[in-house]
Amino acid sequence: MSKNVQQHHKKNSNFGEAKIISIKHINNEYKVTWERKSNCESGTDYVNDINGTITRSEVSICQANLRSVSQM
């Protein structure tokens, strides 16, 4: 099941492998929390506990601190 999540994220990204942080079984699904440090991405995938398909995902990508400098 965690391999399904890793394969899904590897197939859909050029930024390297997603590391599984935690797996919890809640009701009829697994909650898989993951991160990919190479592009500051993290998320949670919900996986059906019967057939192993990802039913929904939540993804976050960090934004670099951007600073503008004005000249007078």
Looking at residues 16-36, what average pLDDT do you find? 92
- 8 A C-beta contact, residue 43 and residue 59: yes
Q: Give pTM, 2 decimals.
A: 0.72
Query: Distances from the Cα of 52 to the Cαs of 7, 8, 15, in angstroms?
Result: 12, 12, 24
32 is in which domain, residue-wise?
A: 2-61
- Residue 48 lies inside a defined structural domain of this protein: yes
Q: Quote the pLDDT of residue 6.
A: 67
- Residue 66 lies inside a defined structural domain of this protein: no
- Residue 72 lies inside a defined structural domain of this protein: no
- Residue 47 lies inside a defined structural domain of this protein: yes
- Which has the higher per-residue pLDDT, 42 or 18? 42
Number of structural domains found in the chain: 1
